[in-house]
Structure 1
Amino acid sequence: MSNIQPTPKVLLVISDEHRHISISLEQAGFKVEVVDSISKAESQLKTLKPDLLLIHSDMTGDHGLNFCQFVKSSEISPRPIIVFLVDEYKPDERIEVLRSGADDAISYPLSGKEIAFRIMAHLRRRQETHISLLTGLPDVIIANNVLEHTLKEVKDWAVLSIDLDNLRVYNETYGESRGDQMIKALAAVLKSVLTQDDFLAHRDSDDFILVTRSDRAEATAEEICRRFDYIGPRFYTKEDAQRSYVIGIGSKGIRRRVPLVSISIGATAKGRRNFSSALEVLQVARDMRYLAKSKKGSDWVSDRLRLSANEPSLKDQRIKILVIEPDASMSLLLKDTLEMEGYFVDVAHSTHEAWNMLNGWKPELILLEVDVSSEGFNGWELTRKIKQVPELAGTWIIMTTKNPDHNKALESGADLYLPKPYELQVLFSEVRYLLRTRIKSGVLL
């Protein structure tokens, strides 16, 4: 896999007589771009997004004032470090460029090697300012830059979005300092599964991302869950650990059972979708993580189907679901998310289309928007017709509708009435409940 950590980029604004500096920087491992004017530097700034700008002060004309202001208004995060090269016989110029907004001024003549080491020192200090004090891991700024680099430059990658469930109740019960120890334990678990090429960042609170190879994503997620579940009970009293829950205290004396802290992980990888930005990658990974929260205990969801290792591609080894939904965008959402849960899903947009499909294909479950109809044949009638056919009568039917008459839905033959709008977590939970007795061997749900 290509290096996930991006090579530091330096944009040089120098004249031809100082070209030797670029050679020294490249030899030191920097990616160097050279321009010979301030206007060219400004035009390339947002595209290149350099870590550091090294500018010959004689090329600005105003001690770098306008250029420094331009850089600081460019909304690049983190802002590039601004360093000026100043003639050693112009001490007043050093003061002026620093007053204009430069981060440093280096006197020349100076060897290219020393300039390279001074730049390294600046970038090291910058890196240290973007480290989580709690875990010692790179923060959200570094994480976002690494994701952008990965999307553009790395040929094979996967992103895991990781966080803890039930941490708030744990903090209320045991205290925030103990909660911080739980987060540090998660960080330790994540570090323990890293390979040399992986990248790990602590974005915020209990929110982490891990970048690895696509062929390692699911196995890594599984191993993280296993290792955390092994150490997790140690953070509880013996009583809480043995009964596998804590007692959460709500308003007005309400008490509730809250499961032990667990992990949810969402995973995505290159080639599974047409990603256009790092933000989109992160959002998909988070969506998968959200789906993982519908499961009990530590678990993960990937946008690659979770199938049996022995039968990785046989559709007939997966539980089949027919989605009957007239709205194209809603049907696509349901199909995608249910397939991510490991089911084989087909879609019909009308009652006649659904009935024709059922004549040659028998799903284990039907998700029916009851308001769908075609040529006077509505969802209510389709439900009754399905239940009258012996071969289809045992098929579970979840009826989704804005109609408040749940008795009508159940009397027509629906096994479950699910009023709209509903949360996907609720839907997945009810689907698993209905199918629990029909789960086939080798299928992970």
Structure 2
Amino acid sequence: MTLPIRILVAEDEPDVGMLLREMLVSEGYEVDLVQNGHQLIQAAQQQPPDLILVDRAMPVMDGLEAIRQLRNDTRTSHLPMIILTALSDSSKIVEGLENGADDYIAKPYDREVLLARVRSHLRRAAQLPLRNPLTGLPGNAAIEAEINRQLEQKAKFALLYIDLDNFKAFNDVYGFARGDKAIHLVASMLREHTAPDDFVGHIGGDDFVVIHLGPDPEALCKRIIQVFDQSIRALYDEADLQRGYLVATDRYGITRQFGIISLSIAVVTTYNRTFHSVDEMSRVAAELKKAAKQIAGSTYKIDRRTEETSTNPLTDRRGTNAPEALIICQNDIARGTIVGTLNSRGYRLLIADNEIAAQGLLAHHPHPALLVAEFSPDIIHLWQELNHATPLIALVRDEASASAAREAGVSTVVWDDDNPVELSDQLQSALATLVR
């Protein structure tokens, strides 16, 4: 599935504009019509078209100035632009071309010539890898150019790196056509819920970028997650929604239950520190994204380090060689206590609310060194799938659960009675036993 070809026409004479619109629509193009250069710039920046037709002489801002400004904006600099002019003076035509127009068409228009020129420039633009063919958003080259432009201008901005979780399972179960719909949903959502001055790009696959110029990227992350989590459910079959998961095979050939698609967002900003290159920002974004993807469900991670602390790693001090611990706990207080205790022991944490969310994490981290989970029959089943190679610390709230856990083979049981200090002490003792 690809988006229809969009042409943006700037023409101040309504009759001429409608004639152009009808001519292009009859050829299958989608056409937006504006009446001056200022409207042209706003429309092109908000939703870049595939091609621009612009009248040279317009009120408020003429076509030449509009083209010049669009050429100086990375979001629109790559677009083919054809100037429409009633002037036959060669010097005026040269002026238009030198201001950034790719071509010109003289009034009155010859229908066949105009359409041939439009097709020619669209073919040439399609050969340039500047826009993602699925979503029409700027691709890798344009994204890199825009980040470089912001860095060169020493702008204050936030780079949001957005990745879909559980997308492969969704694509495998429902097929590529519905997978494309999920990608389109993300693209449309980002266009709609980011500011007009923000830059939205599609790296490829299920990876997107937003360059946010506002002061509060955290609010933007929350808004994106809220809208996405509500919208994505419409792409699932009702039976799968009721069940809460899809059954698919992970990269290791293991059949797992995968929850609803979620978002992991990594946020790197220039608010507190200076970056000198796209590569430098990308490395930090990759590190943040890895941390975000270790938490099940839609989440975001923001790099809040300053110049003085930028050399400190985001992960635990033992780095990528640290043992992984999978936490499955719905209780916020207990989960916070477990996270703090295991962090102090140098574990890298994988965090899930339930066993289905945990399955999604295990698809990428299949061999955790430790499992800490609220006791349930489903947790025991998940643990048994790990072949008991991973020690399980079971959280229980009553003697019946404690007995059932021990009967299932769990040797380490801790009591969760909403006392964080007591829970932490029990965990520390249990961990010390495991080490021995």
**Which category describes the TM-score, using the shorter chain as reference length?**
0.3 to 0.5
**TM-score for both structures, normalised by structure 2:** 0.48
